[in-house]
Structure 1
Amino acid sequence: MRALFARTLAVLLPLALFAAGCGSEKAGSGARSAESKDRAREVAAAWDGSRAAEVWRKGYYPLADVVQLPEHAFRNDDDKTAYAAENYVLDAELPADSPAKGKVEWEGGSSLSLPLMDARKAYETVARGGNDGPHLTVTAVKLGTTILVTSRGPATVPAWLFTLDGYDTPLKRVALEPSVLPGSPIEPLKDATDDLMELQQLVEVGRDGRSVTVLAGHGACDDGAAVQVRETAGSVVLSASIVGGSDGDCTAQLLFQKATVKLERELGDRVLLDAFTGAPIAQRRIPT
């Protein structure tokens, strides 16, 4: 098990984010090690019935990208490159006034009021590029709503709607920050190995709640990443590993792979956990 190689991957992560969409999309078929099974059981046991799980079920945690693309995106490779590089030109006024709070409204009838992100901050979280390459032009901005998959199921949430030149529907940026994550009742592991590694990020939970897509890392001299799932009444624990690793010389290189796992039943309000960290799997703002 190449613990050193796994740590090297973690160091190289910031250098490889732009290439996140270049990996294959599969859950992997690697055999699950005893280490991985034991750790998944420990994580599930620590969370099930815990105070942390109770906090999770009362909060607002996105389980899909908080930036939603216009319909039929993208028109061409330049637009796709601009989105991945977060290159935008603002050719519109950003609204200066907005409500202090916005409301998350779940399909079951419950709701939660949270501070509303203003238009400028929302734009800055989307337009973080600034190079001389291709760009997307924003021609209008207004506050609206969108549907987002969350830790408590689909919800209607406020969103800033950015009209883009050349597109009939807007790019939407959810206008709320997630609730603060609860502290984990179990400590993270210290050393990654090929048999158990940290997942890179949550990509999305399917609209029906029966599938979970994550981003897993692996190297250039193996057969890819595998993601296994352990389900309990209160949690879903995902364990990432590397398939077909070699102890020989290999370039220190991080590749990404989207992996989709199918659940036996709907995720619902069960906590989605990473076996390595022992914590909820975060939905980060990384274009994939």
Structure 2
Amino acid sequence: MRRLIWLGVMCLLTVGSVGCGTEPPADLVGTDRSTPRMRQVAEAWKGSEAARVWRTGFYLLDDPERLPEDAFHNGADKLAYGNGNFRLRAGALPGAAARHGRIRWTNGDSLPATVMTARQAYDTLDRGDRGDGADPLTVTKAALGEMTVNTSRGPARVPAWLLTLDGYDTPVRLMAVASPKPPRAPVPSLSPQTVHGVQPLDEIREVSGDGRTLTVRASHGACDDGPAVDVLETGDSVVLAGGIRGAKDGPCTMQLLHASVTVHLDRPLGDRLILDAFTGKPVTMAA
């Protein structure tokens, strides 16, 4: 639930300058404005140690938390959750020690993993913020189960702690295994001073069943015609470059807006990496 805020800040700065009429970039789609950067990112990842590690390890491209299906009943509960304001009912957490589990992919691959205790999982949720005056959410029970998450190797089933909240029909799901720090990207990120029309992407919202269409969540400003996403396909990767359409001259409010963009691929995605031309890193998948 707490996603990559710094990307939004950088995008806000970039969109703000573009929207106020300082050298607005041309539309990215159908032009070569972003091609050199996309090629640089694709070549850097091709055959790299980072790509090898990425394809053989467990690296999360998802949120490790899942809200209850009926969340939230009111604004106070939403505020309490966002602030990490929780309390435990007596006996809610089992006292078992950490145990061994497995991460399992749909192709049959798996990796061993240490499953954190219920207390360790709960502590990632409860930040003890009691300063908002709202009543905390009460955890009444914890049970070990599973959840599906998007990873560097596709969807995987992982151990998860299911925490029941007082008044909610379905539990909060917390991933119960740690995801290691991703390998360092083999190409440096751009900065707001060097973007030349390329902006960071938010996340991949959906991959179609046939792997030929990506739905990308991208950012734009209040004084343009919306986001655009350019694509470069190689045998190893799909590199996406975010940008904007129709930047307008003149005064503009500093707003960061979001919209979904559909990207069509020439062939199915398969096991190719999806890379962000701005950051040089794999793109996060939506929960």
- What is the TM-score with the length of structure 1 in the denominator? 0.75
Deviates further, 231-240 or 186-195: 186-195
Residues 5-24 of structure 1 correspond to what in structure 2 (within 5 A)?
A: 9-10=9-10
The DSSP-based 3-state class of the residue aligned with 1:239 is strand
Q: Aligned partners of 1:232 and 1:250: how far apart in 2?
A: 38
Q: Aligned partners of 1:267 and 1:8: how far apart in 2?
A: 26
Residues 238-277 of structure 1 correspond to what in structure 2 (within 5 A)?
A: 238-259=240-261, 261-277=263-279
Label 1:255 to 1:261 Cα distance change in 2 as closer, same or farther (>3 A): same
Instruction: Establish whether residue 182 from structure 1 lines up as the match of residue 183 from structure 2.
Output: yes
Partner of 2:118: 119
Is the Cα–Cα contact under 8 Å of residues 154 and 207 in structure 1 kept in the other structure?
A: no
Tell me how far 1:10 sits from its aligned partner. 1.7
Partner of 1:21: none
Partner of 1:56: 54
Q: Aligned partners of 1:249 and 1:147: how far apart in 2?
A: 46
Partner of 1:226: 228
Which of the residues 37, 51, 56 maps onto 2:35?
37
Tell me how far 1:8 sits from its aligned partner. 9.8
Q: Aligned partners of 2:134 and 2:204: how far apart in 1?
A: 26
Residues 142-221 of structure 1 correspond to what in structure 2 (within 5 A)?
A: 142-190=143-191, 191-193=193-195, 195-199=197-201, 201-202=202-203, 204-206=205-207, 208=209, 210=211, 212-221=214-223
Is the Cα–Cα contact under 8 Å of residues 62 and 151 in structure 1 kept in the other structure?
A: yes
Q: Aligned partners of 1:225 and 1:127: how far apart in 2?
A: 36
Tell me how far 1:266 sits from its aligned partner. 4.7
Partner of 2:22: none
Is the Cα–Cα contact under 8 Å of residues 194 and 242 in structure 1 kept in the other structure?
A: no
| 1:178-230 deviation per Cα after TM superposition (whole angstroms, max 9, x unaligned) | 2331222222223354720122x435454848354554332232233222332
Q: Aligned partners of 2:97 and 2:269: how far apart in 1?
A: 34
Q: Aligned partners of 2:82 and 2:267: how far apart in 1?
A: 33
Q: Aligned partners of 1:262 and 1:85: how far apart in 2?
A: 39
Q: Aligned partners of 1:123 and 1:223: how far apart in 2?
A: 43
Is the Cα–Cα contact under 8 Å of residues 63 and 205 in structure 1 kept in the other structure?
A: no
Tell me how far 1:53 sits from its aligned partner. 1.0
Tell me how far 1:150 sits from its aligned partner. 2.2
Label 1:263 to 1:149 Cα distance change in 2 as closer, same or farther (>3 A): farther
| 1:222-262 deviation per Cα after TM superposition (whole angstroms, max 9, x unaligned) | 23322233222211211111222234232333333444545
Label 1:156 to 1:8 Cα distance change in 2 as closer, same or farther (>3 A): closer
Label 1:193 to 1:46 Cα distance change in 2 as closer, same or farther (>3 A): closer
Tell me how far 1:78 sits from its aligned partner. 5.0
Q: Give the % identical residues.
A: 46
Label 1:157 to 1:250 Cα distance change in 2 as closer, same or farther (>3 A): same
Q: Aligned partners of 1:48 and 1:116: how far apart in 2?
A: 33
Gaps of 5+ in 2: 1-6, 14-26
Label 1:173 to 1:132 Cα distance change in 2 as closer, same or farther (>3 A): same
The DSSP-based 3-state class of the residue aligned with 2:62 is coil
- What is the TM-score with the length of structure 2 in the denominator? 0.75
Q: Aligned partners of 2:63 and 2:55: how far apart in 1?
A: 19
Is the Cα–Cα contact under 8 Å of residues 137 and 165 in structure 2 kept in the other structure?
A: yes
Q: Aligned partners of 1:67 and 1:8: how far apart in 2?
A: 21
Tell me how far 1:103 sits from its aligned partner. 1.5
Label 1:125 to 1:193 Cα distance change in 2 as closer, same or farther (>3 A): same
The DSSP-based 3-state class of the residue aligned with 1:122 is helix
Is the Cα–Cα contact under 8 Å of residues 65 and 204 in structure 1 kept in the other structure?
A: no
Is the Cα–Cα contact under 8 Å of residues 151 and 269 in structure 1 kept in the other structure?
A: no
Q: Aligned partners of 1:165 and 1:74: how far apart in 2?
A: 12
In the alignment, residue 97 of structure 1 is paired with which amino acid? A
Is the Cα–Cα contact under 8 Å of residues 194 and 241 in structure 1 kept in the other structure?
A: no
| 1:128-187 deviation per Cα after TM superposition (whole angstroms, max 9, x unaligned) | 454234654321112211222322222210001011223332121111222331222222
Label 1:150 to 1:267 Cα distance change in 2 as closer, same or farther (>3 A): farther
